[in-house]
Structure 1
Amino acid sequence: MRFTSICSLILTCVCCVSATIFQNSQERITNYPNTVIDTVGYQFQKYSPDAPELSYKGRWDSKHLSWWSAPGLKFGFTGKQVAITFGLLTTDKTLIAYRIDGQDWQLTNVTTGATHLLVSPSTPGIDLTGPISPSTFEMRVTNWAYGVQIDSVYVTKGDKLIELPNFGRSIEIIGDSLSSGYSATLEGVSSYAYGLAAGLGDTEYSITAYPGICAFDKVCWGNRRGMFYQWWYTSDVSPRASEIYGDKPERWNFSKNAAPDIVVVNLGTNDANAANNVTSEGYVAQYTMLVQGVHAVWPKAQIILISLWNGFDAVGNTYAQGSAWKSEIYSIYEYFNSPSYLENPVLYDPVKNVTYNANEPSSPFVHYFNTTGIMQHNDIGPKWHPTDVGNIKLASHLIQYIKMKFNWILYSTGPEVYHQTLYWNDQDTY
Structure 2
Amino acid sequence: MRIARLGSALLWSLHAAATILQNGQVREDPYPGQAPRIELDDSWHSYGADTEEISYKGRWDSNHVSWWSAPGIKVEFSGSQLAVSFGQSTSDGVLVAYRVGSLDWQFSNVTADSTYQFVGPELGLDEDLVKQHKVFEMRVQIAGVSVASDESLQVPKRFEKKVEVIGGSLAGGQFATYETISSWGYLFAAGLGNAEHTITAYPGACLADLQCYGGNAHGMTWYWNRASDPGSRANEFFGHEPEKFDNKAEQPADLVVIQMGGNDHRHPNEIPGNEFYHAYVALIDDIHSTWPHAVVLIVSQWGQWVKEGLSYVPTQVYEEETRKVHDHFRDRGFVYYFDTSGILQHNDINPKNHPTDVGHIKLASHLLQWTRLVLRWNLEPMGEVQHGTLYWNDQQEY
What TM-score comes out, normalization by structure 2 length? 0.90
Residues 68 and 210, structure 1, Cα contact 8 Å, conserved in 2: yes
Match of 1:107 in 2: 107
Match of 2:146 in 1: 154
Shift of the 260–410 alpha-carbon distance from structure 1 to 2, 3 Å rule, reads same
Match of 1:379 in 2: 348
The one of 377, 390, 395 equivalent to 2:359 is: 390
Is 1:204 matched up with 2:196?
A: yes
> Kindly, what percent of the aligned residue pairs are identical?
38
- Measure the CA separation in 2 of the matches of 1:110 and 1:306: 35
Residues 61 and 235, structure 1, Cα contact 8 Å, conserved in 2: yes
- Measure the CA separation in 2 of the matches of 1:109 and 1:194: 21
- Measure the CA separation in 2 of the matches of 1:423 and 1:299: 43
The one of 176, 190, 199 equivalent to 2:182 is: 190
- Measure the CA separation in 1 of the matches of 2:394 and 2:67: 38
- Measure the CA separation in 1 of the matches of 2:44 and 2:226: 36
Is 1:266 matched up with 2:265?
A: no
Shift of the 248–52 alpha-carbon distance from structure 1 to 2, 3 Å rule, reads same
Per the alignment, in what secondary structure is the counterpart of residue 58 of structure 2? strand
Shift of the 414–79 alpha-carbon distance from structure 1 to 2, 3 Å rule, reads farther
Residues 53 and 75, structure 1, Cα contact 8 Å, conserved in 2: yes
The one of 2, 13, 19 equivalent to 2:16 is: 19
Q: What amino acid does structure 1 have at the position aligned with 2:107?
A: L
Per the alignment, in what secondary structure is the counterpart of residue 265 of structure 2? coil
Residues 78 and 161, structure 1, Cα contact 8 Å, conserved in 2: yes
Over residues 341-374 of structure 1, what are the superposed CA-to-partner deviations in whole Å (9 max), with x where a residue is unaligned?
x4xxxxxxxxxxxxxxxxxxxxx10000000000
Q: CA deviation at 1:31?
A: 5.9
- Measure the CA separation in 2 of the matches of 1:402 and 1:162: 32
Residues 198 and 417, structure 1, Cα contact 8 Å, conserved in 2: no
- Measure the CA separation in 2 of the matches of 1:264 and 1:414: 17
Q: CA deviation at 1:36?
A: 3.9
Gaps of 5+ in 2: 1-10
Residues 78 and 152, structure 2, Cα contact 8 Å, conserved in 1: yes
Is 1:233 matched up with 2:230?
A: no
Is 1:289 matched up with 2:282?
A: yes
Residues 35 and 116, structure 2, Cα contact 8 Å, conserved in 1: yes
Per the alignment, in what secondary structure is the counterpart of residue 69 of structure 2? strand
Q: What amino acid does structure 1 have at the position aligned with 2:52?
A: P
Q: CA deviation at 1:415?
A: 8.4
The one of 234, 242, 246 equivalent to 2:239 is: 246
Match of 2:205 in 1: 213
- Measure the CA separation in 2 of the matches of 1:414 and 1:76: 25
Q: CA deviation at 1:35?
A: 2.1
Q: What amino acid does structure 1 have at the position aligned with 2:105?
A: W
- Measure the CA separation in 2 of the matches of 1:111 and 1:269: 34
Over residues 126-148 of structure 1, what are the superposed CA-to-partner deviations in whole Å (9 max), with x where a residue is unaligned?
65649x9621100114xxxxxx3
- Measure the CA separation in 1 of the matches of 2:19 and 2:387: 17
- Measure the CA separation in 2 of the matches of 1:124 and 1:311: 48
Q: What amino acid does structure 1 have at the position aligned with 2:135?
A: T
Q: What amino acid does structure 2 have at the position aligned with 1:302?
A: V
- Measure the CA separation in 1 of the matches of 2:336 and 2:350: 28
Shift of the 239–27 alpha-carbon distance from structure 1 to 2, 3 Å rule, reads farther
Gaps of 5+ in 1: 1-12, 142-147, 343-363
Residues 261 and 300, structure 1, Cα contact 8 Å, conserved in 2: yes
Q: CA deviation at 1:244?
A: 1.7
The one of 306, 318, 327 equivalent to 2:320 is: 327
Is 1:176 matched up with 2:173?
A: no
Q: CA deviation at 1:221?
A: 3.0
Over residues 261-292 of structure 1, what are the superposed CA-to-partner deviations in whole Å (9 max), with x where a residue is unaligned?
00001011111124203111111011110110
Q: CA deviation at 1:38?
A: 3.0
Per the alignment, in what secondary structure is the counterpart of residue 22 of structure 1? coil
Is 1:276 matched up with 2:269?
A: yes
Match of 1:94 in 2: 94
- Measure the CA separation in 2 of the matches of 1:167 and 1:61: 22
The one of 364, 381, 396 equivalent to 1:412 is: 381
The one of 301, 304, 318 equivalent to 1:311 is: 304
Shift of the 58–40 alpha-carbon distance from structure 1 to 2, 3 Å rule, reads closer
Match of 1:355 in 2: none
The one of 291, 296, 319 equivalent to 1:298 is: 291
Match of 2:6 in 1: none
Match of 1:65 in 2: 65
- Measure the CA separation in 2 of the matches of 1:104 and 1:168: 24
Q: What amino acid does structure 2 have at the position aligned with 1:254?
A: N
- Measure the CA separation in 2 of the matches of 1:408 and 1:301: 14
Q: CA deviation at 1:391?
A: 0.2
Q: CA deviation at 1:96?
A: 1.2
Shift of the 337–68 alpha-carbon distance from structure 1 to 2, 3 Å rule, reads same
Q: What amino acid does structure 2 have at the position aligned with 1:376?
A: Q
Is 1:139 matched up with 2:165?
A: no
- Measure the CA separation in 1 of the matches of 2:386 and 2:356: 16
- Measure the CA separation in 1 of the matches of 2:153 and 2:108: 22
Match of 1:348 in 2: none
Per the alignment, in what secondary structure is the counterpart of residue 97 of structure 2? strand
Residues 162 and 195, structure 2, Cα contact 8 Å, conserved in 1: yes
Match of 1:75 in 2: 75
Shift of the 232–67 alpha-carbon distance from structure 1 to 2, 3 Å rule, reads same
Cα RMSD of the aligned pairs, angstroms, is 2.5
Q: CA deviation at 1:223?
A: 5.3
Once superposed, which parts of structure 1, at least 4 consecutive aligned residues long, lie more than 6 Å away?
413-416
Per the alignment, in what secondary structure is the counterpart of residue 153 of structure 1? strand
Over residues 4-48 of structure 1, what are the superposed CA-to-partner deviations in whole Å (9 max), with x where a residue is unaligned?
xxxxxxxxx97x764333345975433644424332556111111
